[in-house]
Structure formats: C-alpha cells, structure tokens
Amino acid sequence: MTVRRLLALPLLGLLLTGCGIRATQVPTDFGAAPSRVPCSLAGPDQATQSAQGVPVQVFLLCASSLVTVDRTVRVPDGTPDVQRRVIVAQGLLDQLAASPSAAERSAGYTTYVPGGLSVSGPGPKDPEDMLRLSTAPARLTSYALAQLVCTLSDSAATEGDGSVILAGPVPDSPRRYACTDEVRNRPGNTAPPSSEVAER
C-alpha cells in the first residue's frame, strides 16, 4: 500500500502541473478588436451620385459622434442670393431628416433630425443672415440641434464662419450657435454654445 502511494505522488504532481496554461514569450499582437460600427462607406453612394444639384455635406450621427456625408440640393438657376440661402437651408434640413441610405445604415449612420421642419429667412427686425425654423431650437434634442448647427454653419446658407444664427417662430429671439470640436465629438453631451444676437 505504501509503495502504491509513493508511486502515485509523481503522477498526481504531473497532472496538476499540466492543467494550467503556461505563459508564452511569443508576442501575439493581432491588432485592435474589429469594430461592429465602421462609420465608413465602402465606396461612393450610388443614390447620392445619381442625384443632380448643388453638392453639399450634412452631418449624420455614427458611433456617438457627427460625421459628414455627401448630399445634393436642388437650386434653380438665377435664384437671388437671399432666396438661395433659404432654399439651400431647406434642402439641408430635408436631407438631414431623410432616412440614411441602405449603405449608410449598414455603416452605422443615423439621424435625429425630425421630419417636417421648415425654414424661412429673416423678418423685418431680424439679423440679415439669420434663419427661422418652424420649431424653436430649444425644443430639439441635443443630437438634432448639433446636426443642424454643424450642417448649416458650414454651408452656403450661412457666412461659413463656423456659426449660424437661428430662432424659432416669432417671438423667439435669435441666437448665434457655433459648431465646435466638442459638439462634433460628443453631440449627446455637449450642446452647441450659443449667444444672444441683437435685433436690427
């Protein structure tokens, strides 16, 4: 009996040491984990390519940040500058409210801008470069407002200085909204900074 026990001890020790995973000295760098939301299109979107009009860019949401995508807006030839601004702005709102294409949805793009939004030019006492929305900016979600501000502030509808003057229906007061890096990177947590604008 004692001899059997002595013979069993080395075997038991061998089994115990073999059940673990030994550390390896060979590097095993397989790169970063694959992303389930690539936020990039494999190629030009055919639906966007087939549309004719003025090329523009709008901001959609992807992976909790704002990303630009190409769109087009139809503007009749010979349209005066004042009307052109409003037509471009309305076209941008319509593009933001439209559902992303199948390719964009597959890449993880989405939008929070509600449908039915309309825009008009300034009233008699409004700043000349302002836009009035059919819904007050304060009533929009943080994502939707960030999309609107960043899209409009870098378009032919504004002066292109990274800001846009917006207001809701009268008597909503106009405010200048800015699109910053923080807004583009964290639209859900960072509201576009704004400041009051004096009437004419």
| 18 pLDDT more than 80 | no
Query: Over the stretch 52-90, which tens digit does the pLDDT of each residue have?
Result: 678 999 999 999 899 999 999 998 888 887 788 899 999
The percentage of the chain sitting over the pLDDT mark of 70, rounded to a whole number, equals 74
The model's pTM: 0.76
CA atoms of 84 and 41, how far apart (whole Å): 30
Greater model confidence, 80 or 110 = 110
Q: Which two three-digit tokens encode residue 164?
A: 């846009």
Sign of the Cα torsion 134, 174, 86, 156 reads negative
| 45 pLDDT more than 70 | no
SS3 of 10-79: the string is HHHHHHHHHCCCCCCCCCCCCCCCCCCCCCCCCCCCHHHHHCCCEEEEEEEEECCEEEEEEEEECCCCCC
Residue 36, pLDDT score: 53
Q: Given pLDDT bands bounded at 50, 70 and 90, which one contains residue 167?
A: very high
| 19 pLDDT more than 60 | no
Residue-averaged pLDDT of the chain: 81
Residue 81, pLDDT score: 78
Q: Is the preceding omega at residue 55 within 30 degrees of 0, hence cis?
A: no
Residue 24, pLDDT score: 46
CA atoms of 194 and 70, how far apart (whole Å): 27
Q: Which two three-digit tokens encode residue 130?
A: 């302002």
User: For helices 142-153 and 81-97, what crossing angle results, to 10°?
Assistant: 140
Q: Are the C-beta atoms of 3 and 10 separated by less than 8 Å?
A: no
Residue 116, pLDDT score: 93
Q: Which helix (H) or strand (E) holds 2?
A: helix 2-18
CA atoms of 143 and 141, how far apart (whole Å): 5
Q: Are the C-beta atoms of 187 and 146 separated by less than 8 Å?
A: yes
Residue 44, pLDDT score: 54
Residues in contact with 106: Cβ distance below 8 Å, sequence separation at least 6, in sequence order: none
Query: Over the stretch 111-146, which tens digit does the pLDDT of each residue have?
Result: 999 999 999 999 888 998 899 999 999 999 999 999
Whole-Å CA distances, 46 to 40, 50, 55, 92, 118: 15, 6, 14, 19, 27
| 198 pLDDT more than 90 | no
